[in-house]
Every structure is written in C-alpha cells, then in structure tokens.
Structure 1
C-alpha cells in the first residue's frame, strides 16, 4: 500500500482502490439536466420521478447509500456515476428543467457558487449567452466543469445542434484550449475499445496519479460512438491530453479522447463520448449503453479520478501535495463477539484534508496486512476466528495519496464461539385494546448465542410490508425488540421498542399472517395467527414456553396473568 508497504513489510498488496471519502464530505457536484438530456433515447440524468424531468434531489435520498448500494437505487442512466460519487463522500444534485444557470445570484438556490463541480452530460440544447457567461465565471473563480460530448451528428432532439457544437459554443470567449471535432472535421465519429493510449506524464490526475488509482494498461476507455478533441496549447498551455485514439500519437494535439485544462483558479475536464459514463438503468422508454459497469475498461475509475481532480485533488495541473497526514492515535480494539473486533481511533490532521484510513491486521504482531479502507475513525472487523488474538494498526491517506506513519498497535482476543444468532417471532398482538391500532405490536427475540445486525430486515402482514428496521439495528443474544403500529402507541417504559416505519402494522383483528424477512427478503420466521388467538381485545399470542424457538403460540393469559408483555418476558422479567 504505497510507501508504507516498504517500511512495514506488510504481507499483502493493496485491497481494492483507496476511497478518499471524507475529503469530499462538503463537496457538492451538480449534474446539469435542463438541456434536453433525456431527448430521444438519451437518459443522461441521475434519476427522474417524472419522465423528462430530473428532480433536484434523486430519490430515494442519498443519505441511504452505503458501500453495497447498487446503482439501480436511482433510475437514470447516470445513476451509477451518481451513486459512486456519493460512496466517495460527494453530495450530488440535478439541475432540472426549469432551473437557472447563474453565478453569484443569491436568489437562485442552485446558483453555481454553491457547487464545486458542474457536470454537463451531452447537452442537446444550446446554452444562452447568460448561461455561458455564468459557467465561464464559475470556472474562472475556482469551479470545475466536466464537458461530456458525443459523436458528430448526435442531435437527439433534431434541432440542428449536437453536443460537440454546443460545447464548442460554450467555450467561445474563453481560452480553454479545447475543441471537439464536429461534422465535416476529421475523427468526429468512431469506435475505439479499448482506448488506452495514455499520456507519458506520470503526474496525470486522470490515468496515472488519480485520487482513486491508476488506470490499467490495455483497459482505458470503452468508446462506442465518440468524437475526438483537438488541443490548442498556444491558446492555453495548460490544455493537456491524457488519452488518445489508438490511431493517434500520445503527446500530440489531435485525436485526443480525454483532456483537461485550467482557467483562472478553475479546472476543465473533457471527453468525446458519453458511453463510458452511462449505465443501462433506464425508465420512460430510454435506451442507453452500460459503459460505466463494463469490466473490460476503466471507464468508472477515469471519470471518478476526473471529478476528484476537478474538485481540487492534486496531480498534473493541480497543486502538488506531498505532505502526508499526521498518524492516527489512540487506537483501541475490542472483541465484541467470537467473530468480530471493533476498532476506534482519534483522527489525523492534514494540510489539505484527510481522505481515508487504512486498517492493517496481524496475528503475530509482525506481519501486517491491509484489510480495509474507511472514511471514518472506526471499523468493525468481522469474520474473525474464535479464541484468536488479533493486532491492528491504522494509517491515514489524503486525496493526493500521501500516507501517514502508523498509529499505535492495539490488540484484542476473540472469545470462544457461541451458538449462532436465531431470530424468532415471540409475541404478537393483532387485536389491539379498544380500537387503538397504534398499540398492535410484534415482538422478535434473538434466541441464539450471538448478536445479529437486523438492519434492512422487515416485518410483513398477509398483504404488505409494514416495517423495515433501520440500518445498524443490532439485536443482542437473548434480547428482544418490539415493533408497534406507531410510536404513539408505545407504552411508557417499554424497552427496545420502535414504531412501524410505514406508520401502521395493519394486523387483522380476526387473525393475520405475520412474517419477518431478512435484508435479502428471505423468510426468517412466519406465523398465521388464527382467530382463536385473535379474538380477545388486548390479549396477545405468545410462545409457550416463552422465547422458545420450538414453542407453540397460545393466548398470553395462558402463560401469565396479564394480557401481553411487549419487550419483557411473559412473567415480566427482563430479557
């Protein structure tokens, strides 16, 4: 893992790409979606709840995105691009139809001054003079703009203007030193896959020294219908090529397929094809190419490196940062089960900003291997072996890939293995007292010997999903959790209780089927409550023996003198 591998002689290579997430925690990326980005079969948007209009905030909310969220979380052909940026720590928005492109207009909530990066994915309508002026001012004053064009004659809305012409017009009046080839000019429509003729400049923030890793020799871009870019270094000596057509010459000013430039304190990135940045997640009758997810090419890596550079990461054309962060401190380790060790530490500082932390593990306190890269100052190391001592160290990275010295070493010994977690339905009140349906409840009990994360699990009745457990919900061994119809129905003092996420459990008073499913939608437990166990107001169905996986369900009054016992054992004692 870069410099530290040599100094500590770690046993394993880097695991995956480093993820500079926290460095971008306050960095907003705006995807322009108001210039016919959904014309024809086009779908260059993050998400659209209404066909033809990409709303400002994609839904579901980006706060729900985790490391494992699929790109289908959103519905546009730029969903992969957007979800990947959120995973890196960026915040993304769309500029929808009806929005305004301004710079310095405080009456505009989406004024470009509020963003660090502006992405222009294959516009099909010309920018007005005022819009061009605003975008140029945005760049001049430190913004980053990503120009994504397509092949000549890619006129999706048949108005006589295609994206290379529109983006060339955008660059009139400024000296960015870039020109997209248009119809009538050479190399304006071609396929090139793989397109991997890279620059020899090892400081290139796009292919060699990017924030998210180095592009692989022989992979490059998958271009399917691209135009090329011509550089004009006499107009701007900072106009640089990073990738060239296979038939081109690296270092030349023509047949460039990915380029960058600068203006004032801002940055520009440009590519001649939208295929590498799109996916095949479409709605509203659109059809697009699944370029982002093609493993034969480095499409995603190159685009993410470009956004990081546009946002201020170092490398070729940006400010060089060679100062590593300070070493993390106060590392502690705690074995919370026979298979999991939790780590926490005090964060590092950096002259630009800490991007991520690298976690190393050893079983002999001599040879350490990289096991994770995380954005925060904690990590849960799962899948460990029982009755084993593990040693840990942590380092910090910044966005320029400078790695800190190591933290202190912390160790923890996992306990002997216990029985696996097992979650059961233990008690259900389907016939609420009176008519207050908020007091209906379902009680789950973990009768196994280890804790289990039930985040994403759900509770269903016979007709619909009624509750989804929040991310990070953990049910301890021998513990219970109760879901009520609503938070307002939770009796005071009830332990570990939540309200149904849908606002109701909707259980039928004459009987109902209650099912609990895990995050993969596999049934964990299910019981069809018969009318004989649902006929009395305020009396639940409870397992007998209580909290027994093999117990049958009976009226609660058969195992206790009270009608129900949500959150406690049937006899009133605590779980």
Structure 2
C-alpha cells in the first residue's frame, strides 16, 4: 500500500542552508538506485532520463548548479536532496541498475572505495551476500552509510520483501545496534508530524549541533507513514537515538525515529521514513510527497546535518570529532606540458577517516605560495601560465572535517618559449560507449606544443584501417583539442572542435585495440594500444594522467574526475 500524502507541495528552495561549502569540495555521495528504487509509485532517485533507470551522473551536469538553482533542475523525487548537497560542495552520483556494489575492486569504476557517503533510499530488492559484505566493509573502513527505510508493508515491487526487512538483513553479521520495526512488531507504521521529541544531548550532530544548524522544537521531522527504530546499546554503545515518536520517551531504546551508530572508523545514520527526503518532482507515473520543501518541518536541515556528520563533521552521535589531519602528499612531480601548462602528479595521502580533496599551491619565487586549485584526484593540469617561466608547486590534503595536512615536497617546472614546436598526442579515447551506441565512440587529440599545426590529410587509425581523414584546412592550435566521434550525430551539444569520422565509424573494440594518428605522409605521430582494463566500463573513457601530458599514462577517466568522459574539454571539465 502507498502511504498517505499531504497536499502541501510548495515549490520553494530550502531556506537557511547555503553556507560555505569548501570543507566538502569533491566529497562524493553515492545514491544507490539499483534495488527497485523506482518500483511501483516509488521515485527515490536523483534523476532518470528513461523510466526506471537512474543514470550515474544526473543531467544537466551538476557543475551548472548555483545557489539559486531550483530542485526541478533534475527529474527525480530525490532531486532536492541532491541539488542541496551540490550547493553545499558535495559531488553526487547514482548507482544505476546493472551496476555492481563492491569494495576494493579496482575494475569497478563505482567501487565504494571511491565514495565517502553511501545513501540507501528505501531498497525494494534484497542485497546479495556479496553486496552486504561490501557495504559493511565500506562502513568499517571509514565510510558513512545513510539507511532510509519506510513503513512495514511498503513492498513496491511485490516480491515479498519491503525496506525494513531488507535493511535489517543488510545488518546481519554486524553489531550496529539498530533495528527497523517490521511485520507484527509495534510502531511499524505510523504518522507523526511534527515529530520533534529531541535528545537532550546538546552535542547531537543531527538536531542540536549540526553542521547546518539546530532543528526547532515544534518542527522537526514530518513523518507520513514511518516505521520506528529500536536501538541496542548493549550490542553497540555508540548506537544513539536523536529523535523519538511523540508517544515515545526521550532516551529510551524504542520508538526512535532517527538514530546513528558507528562501526570501526565508519558512521551510520538511520531514519524510518522516506517522505522527509523526497520532493514533488517525479515522472513516469510516480507519486511522491513534497517532504523536503515543506516549511512546516526541518526535514532538509536534519538530513543535510546527517550527511555532513557521515562525511566526517564533528559532533556526538557515535564517533568522536575528527581533529586528525591527513598525511602530507608525497612524490610531487611537475613537468611542463606546453608553454602555458604544467602537469602535476603526486602520491595519495592517508587519513584516519578519509581524504576529501587536495589543494594545489603555486609560486614564482619559491617563497610566497598561493592556492590555485583543488581536486579530488592525484594529478592536476595547471594552465593559463606564462611562457619561459619557472613555477614552483606544493600540495596539501584536506579531510572532510576541514583538517589540512602539512605541505608536500616542492617541485618546479619551467614552461618553454611560446615558439616551441607543435606536438600532437592521443589524449582521451572512449571505446566503451554509453548504452552500446557505437556512434558515441570518440578519440581526442591535443596539441601540447607551443605553436599551431596544420593537420590536413592526417588520419586516425584503428588496428586495421584508417577511420578518419582530417579535411583540408584543419588547423590544431597550441594547447587545443580536436575530437573525432564515430558519427557526427553523437557529438554532444556544446562540444567545440569536434567532427564525425569520415568513414562513418571508429570500430573501437571493448576488448582492446591499437589506435594511432598518422600525418599525411603516413608517419605515425602518436599511438596507443589499450586493453580491456581501460575499456571495460560502459560510458567511461581512458585519459592521459596527468591530463594533456605527452608523458602521461592512460587511466580510467573516473580516477581524474566524477565525469565518465570529457570530449573537447580538460578532464576537470574546463576548456582547452
């Protein structure tokens, strides 16, 4: 049965939630969307371009979100949740149908080791034993897990299992001290609005000392068809209640409506209702409740406080405040990629909870350094530089709590004169196109030299034949890129300097291929033979690391940014 819905559908932005976001820069939050989160009337996803399938990266791109962007920017009923997280500085992704839940599997571009927070919004299909083990390992090793259940008998896909049962089974074999009430157990289906019977612990990071403010008695949560949570401090002394049913007792182990716990260096938050996290944006015949935007309640505030705590913010609720900075990055190396760009790479830092981002500092006198960029990866292309100039660099690491490491070693590089010769390289290759649409395959060439070059008559080859010949008059400027797509029809809107293959195909094999670019005389300018390791992930390209570096090795694009590819742009999404 579907829960009762109110008719309050305010299309209002969340008020009072736009605060400095630098502490969360590039911190990745993953919304699990592969366990029937759109079954029946459900719509617990950020965005879906086709009914029933939430794509990995919501569209339009989250890079376009500003402080005034409405939640209708995306089309799922969790769009408000996701858009507000991006406004805070977080990076969000969905785990689509057909994906894998793993921990420590480098072949999986969405392995849980790549994320800081995992949100499980009302799953309607049971997690396999392997999936449960991966999620438990993620938490134990420092991940933040948000369990969003719903009332008993909320079986959207009619398979005999509903979210309280599925999440309780997920907790088999661990001692998190949390249990969602189900079946014949009391308080497994109730309405409670407003629900603001708060803990008296003023250090609570959920309602009293949250990163985004204090919840208000008389507002709290708006619960419309919820199950309650029972906590077991004997099994886990860090299992804590933060909000109780109006008919409950503050401090009791039963009738809890919002709870937290810990495991190893990881954190868990739990709520028994999906209504407070959803909005009225939906499609495909779904029916949703506008809980996130209802100004009568603190739904958004409490959920955002929870994500910040799961990502490492200080406060009570199980787990102590994180004051330990990451170790300093090591092995920083700088090399001039062109007269206007220096490529940087370094060895990752470690942290007791998790590294969130890296800060790049630059100097021209090796004395006074200024911050010039931040990235989640271990490489960076510093562009817009002056020719014939020596630049010095240092890198530090930040964790999600805002602790900054000591400086890395200092490395320097001198940009060549602007008249340095042109040098064309293969920079990015997408062989495993999204959705098996071979027209979307592409090969990106970049001129990393200091002067323009006429590439008329040059050819792009696969292992057996020339697939594209550049037209007469084609000039590739210094530091610029040109992209050859298998078909012009698949060139994304707004992509500059892109062409369709003159042969009508690129014929890039997902199991491995030799790719080369040859000049008009037939001389090989650059070539690369890739294996299935770099072409085995749907929609993810292989890219030089550092980006646009003649000496860089090819890696999965997702190790450089949250995007699966960046044709015609740098790996970080900026223009060449």
TM-score range, shorter chain: 0.5 to 0.7
1:263, 1:190 → 2: CA distance? 29
1:211–1:400: 8 Å Cα contact kept in structure 2? no
1:265, 1:399 → 2: CA distance? 13
Structure 2 counterpart of 1:243? 243
Within the alignment, does 1:56 sit opposite 2:56 as a pair? yes
2:21, 2:356 → 1: CA distance? 9
Deviations 1:200-226 (A, max 9, x none): 000000000000111012100000000
Q: Structure 1 residue 20: deviation in Å?
A: 3.9
Within the alignment, does 1:226 sit opposite 2:226 as a pair? yes
1:354, 1:266 → 2: CA distance? 15
Structure 2 counterpart of 1:320? 321
1:400, 1:203 → 2: CA distance? 16
Structure 2 counterpart of 1:543? none
2:197–2:250: 8 Å Cα contact kept in structure 1? yes
1:44–1:121: 8 Å Cα contact kept in structure 2? yes
SS at match of 1:131: helix
1:313, 1:196 → 2: CA distance? 23
Within the alignment, does 1:193 sit opposite 2:155 as a pair? no
1:166, 1:320 → 2: CA distance? 31
Go from structure 1 to structure 2 and tell me whether the alpha carbon gap of 1:73 and 1:188 turns closer, same or farther (over 3 Å shift). Answer: same
Structure 2 counterpart of 1:271? 271
2:495, 2:96 → 1: CA distance? 32
Within the alignment, does 1:126 sit opposite 2:129 as a pair? no
Deviations 1:33-83 (A, max 9, x none): 000000000000000001100000000000000000000000000000000
1:44–1:278: 8 Å Cα contact kept in structure 2? yes
Deviations 1:457-513 (A, max 9, x none): xxxxxxxxxxxxxxxxxxxxxxxxxxxxxxx99xx9xxxxxxxx8699xxxxxxxxx
After the TM superposition, which parts of structure 1 deviate over 2 Å for at least 4 consecutive aligned residues?
15-18, 317-324, 351-355, 398-402, 501-504
Within the alignment, does 1:94 sit opposite 2:94 as a pair? yes
Q: Structure 1 residue 16: deviation in Å?
A: 3.6
Structure 2 counterpart of 1:32? 32
Residue correspondence of structure 1 range 524-543 to structure 2 within 5 A: none
Deviations 1:526-552 (A, max 9, x none): xxxxxxxxxxxxxxxxxxxxxxxxxxx
Go from structure 1 to structure 2 and tell me whether the alpha carbon gap of 1:37 and 1:163 turns closer, same or farther (over 3 Å shift). Answer: same
Structure 2 counterpart of 1:281? 281
Q: Structure 1 residue 114: deviation in Å?
A: 0.4
2:321, 2:138 → 1: CA distance? 22
Residue correspondence of structure 1 range 444-459 to structure 2 within 5 A: none
Q: Structure 1 residue 26: deviation in Å?
A: 2.2
1:311, 1:76 → 2: CA distance? 23
1:221, 1:260 → 2: CA distance? 16
Structure 2 counterpart of 1:262? 262
Go from structure 1 to structure 2 and tell me whether the alpha carbon gap of 1:319 and 1:74 turns closer, same or farther (over 3 Å shift). Answer: same
Structure 1, unmatched stretches of 5+, are: 1-14, 325-350, 356-374, 377-397, 403-487, 493-500, 505-575
1:315–1:400: 8 Å Cα contact kept in structure 2? no
Deviations 1:357-392 (A, max 9, x none): xxxxxxxxxxxxxxxxxx99xxxxxxxxxxxxxxxx
1:160, 1:178 → 2: CA distance? 22
1:20–1:399: 8 Å Cα contact kept in structure 2? no
Within the alignment, does 1:213 sit opposite 2:213 as a pair? yes
2:133, 2:33 → 1: CA distance? 18
Structure 2 counterpart of 1:175? 175
Q: Structure 1 residue 17: deviation in Å?
A: 4.5
Query: Aligned residues, how many?
Result: 332
1:354, 1:98 → 2: CA distance? 28
Structure 1 counterpart of 2:461? none
1:322, 1:142 → 2: CA distance? 15
Go from structure 1 to structure 2 and tell me whether the alpha carbon gap of 1:131 and 1:399 turns closer, same or farther (over 3 Å shift). Answer: closer
Q: Under a length normalisation based on structure 1, what TM-score does the superposition of the two structures give?
A: 0.55
Go from structure 1 to structure 2 and tell me whether the alpha carbon gap of 1:502 and 1:134 turns closer, same or farther (over 3 Å shift). Answer: closer
Within the alignment, does 1:43 sit opposite 2:43 as a pair? yes
Q: Structure 1 residue 320: deviation in Å?
A: 2.6
SS at match of 1:118: strand
Residue correspondence of structure 1 range 495-534 to structure 2 within 5 A: none
1:354, 1:265 → 2: CA distance? 15
Deviations 1:87-143 (A, max 9, x none): 000000000000000000011000000000000000000000000000000000000
Q: Structure 1 residue 323: deviation in Å?
A: 11
2:23–2:402: 8 Å Cα contact kept in structure 1? no
Go from structure 1 to structure 2 and tell me whether the alpha carbon gap of 1:354 and 1:285 turns closer, same or farther (over 3 Å shift). Answer: closer
2:137, 2:172 → 1: CA distance? 13
Q: Structure 1 residue 19: deviation in Å?
A: 1.7
1:190, 1:252 → 2: CA distance? 18
SS at match of 1:150: coil
1:241, 1:62 → 2: CA distance? 34
SS at match of 2:287: coil
Structure showing greater Rg: 1
1:219, 1:321 → 2: CA distance? 30
Deviations 1:373-420 (A, max 9, x none): xx99xxxxxxxxxxxxxxxxxxxxx98799xxxxxxxxxxxxxxxxxx
Structure 2 counterpart of 1:343? none
Structure 2 counterpart of 1:303? 303
2:23–2:401: 8 Å Cα contact kept in structure 1? no
